[in-house]
Amino acid sequence: MEPGSIQTGSQHFANPVQEGGFYRERLITTFVVAAAIMVVEPLGPYRFHFAIGYIVAQIASTLAVRDRFESPSDSLGVLLVFDFTLKIIASLLMPAGWAPALVIAVYSVGVNVGFLTRRWLYAVAGLGLGGFSFTALLLRPVGAAPLLLIATILTVHAVTKRGSSVVSAERAYAEMRDLQIVATQSAADANWLASHDSLTGLSNRRALIERLDELSGTRQTAGLMLLDLDGFKAVNDDYGHRYGDLMLTEIASRLIAVIADHGAQLNCSAPVVARLGGDEFAVLCLGITMADLDRLAEHTIESLHRDAILDEIVIPVRVSVGLARASDCHTAGLLHHADIAMYEAKRNGGGIARFDPLISPTAMPGRRSVRPVIKTSVSSGNL
């Protein structure tokens, strides 16, 4: 995946409404209020019906807000309008139940305020205050005025608070989606950087080793071409690290072009082009013969041994190439063998060297002696 690319839907954030604490608190509150309704004597025999209706309404509204961030809030708004209408009608039929119904309605607005869109919030709050005000005027119960005033203040506070500190449903959904996109993008970038070189965009050493580990124990035949720039330190010393980076980017582009042009013709399947660090590059091919790997290396030398023009500065390019091939389940040592071959090519002045374990041991300059050795097949001048 390219850096910055987004794969939405691969991660999901926890919805706080779906946590167990929300249901537990809602359930306890529902039954406490229902129990309070049932013990209020002025409600008479209707208090049991009123309590049961309240429990049903609260359970239904809880289910409605369960997926609040994944579903529209219209269902909750319609439910609350229906719920408030029943409470207002019940108050007209049971005058003694007017006050508890008003308290429950205001409480319901406060609980659900964060899950309603603006229009449904205004509709529910307006219906509740308007309906109970109209009921109070018809019934003229004692103490209605101060209770209505308190209910109005609490409702206005809940509605106002929604616009300041309580996150609205649409805003919460947008924020959650933004967070999901940012987190998914960050995860994608982190995964990409973990397996790619940030300068050239090629696979890195870790990705190459992981691919070789995957091949170990299989019957895949793999060929590895390891490349090292000759005289690259002089580019950094003479022109600065900026031109060194430009050189590495140019080499990466040429390698990709060579594999694109000749890889398929030479039976190089599932190629991995990697920068191993510094000025070392690698090309891994599956199912390639040694002869085709030799020809691919020759095409690579031909492509790379052209002067690089970097900001109108002409810089010669020379590389040393080491080749190694493994069949069946012996891919674990492939990188080590190619490394030995590449240093043999460097010791011989550049060009291409092929790993050959049948020839007597040799030593790599700057590295400890090793048992396998090299057959040098092509040579070229150094920088």
Name 173's Cβ contacts closer than 8 Å, sequence gap at least 6. Answer: 69
Q: In the structure, what pLDDT confidence band is assigned to residue 8 with cuts at 50, 70 and 90?
A: very low
Q: List, for residues 237-251, the tens digit of each pLDDT value.
A: 888 889 999 999 999
Q: Is 189 left (phi over 0), alpha (psi -120 to 50) or beta?
A: alpha
Only one residue has tokens 């239904």, namely: 60
Give the residue with greater pLDDT, 206 vs 62. 206
Measured distance CA(334)–CA(331) in Å, rounded: 5
Question: Mean per-residue pLDDT for 218-236?
Answer: 88
Give the residue with greater pLDDT, 167 vs 355. 355
Question: Mean per-residue pLDDT for 169-179?
Answer: 64
DSSP 203: B
Q: Which residues is 286 bridged to in the sheet? A: 222, 269
Q: List, for residues 35-44, the tens digit of each pLDDT value.
A: 877 776 666 6
Q: List, for residues 343-359, the tens digit of each pLDDT value.
A: 889 888 888 999 876 64
Only one residue has tokens 């891919």, namely: 331
Of the candidate ranges 99-103, 228-232, 283-287, 349-353, the one whose mean pLDDT is the lowest? 99-103
Closest to 93 measured CA to CA, from 125, 56, 123, 138: 138
> Does position 155 have pLDDT exceeding 90, yes or no?
no
Distances (CA, A) of 374 to 293, 359, 364: 15, 7, 10
Only one residue has tokens 């009123």, namely: 50
Question: Mean per-residue pLDDT for 76-96?
Answer: 76
> Does position 232 have pLDDT exceeding 50, yes or no?
yes
Averaged pLDDT score across all residues of the chain? 76
Q: List, for residues 258-296, the tens digit of each pLDDT value.
A: 999 988 888 888 889 999 989 999 999 988 888 999 999
Q: Please tell me the predicted confidence (pLDDT) of residue 40.
A: 66
Name 352's Cβ contacts closer than 8 Å, sequence gap at least 6. Answer: 294, 297, 298, 301, 321, 322, 323, 345, 376, 377, 378, 379
Name 233's Cβ contacts closer than 8 Å, sequence gap at least 6. Answer: none
DSSP string, 245-310: HHHHHHHHHHHHHHHHHHTTTTT-EEEEEEEEETTEEEEEEES--HHHHHHHHHHHHHHHSS-EEE
Give φ, ψ of 270 to 5 degrees: 45, 50
Give the residue with greater pLDDT, 9 vs 29. 29
Q: Please tell me the predicted confidence (pLDDT) of residue 61.
A: 67
Q: Please tell me the predicted confidence (pLDDT) of residue 202.
A: 92
Distances (CA, A) of 44 to 51, 73, 101, 147: 12, 36, 14, 21
> Does position 166 have pLDDT exceeding 70, yes or no?
no
CB 338 within 8 A of CB 225: yes
Of the candidate ranges 100-104, 185-189, 370-374, the one whose mean pLDDT is the lowest? 370-374
Can you state the angle between helices 232-239 and 241-262, rounded to 10 degrees? Answer: 140
Measured distance CA(203)–CA(194) in Å, rounded: 9
Which class for 21: exposed (0-12), middle (13-18), buried (19 or more C-beta within 10 A)?
exposed
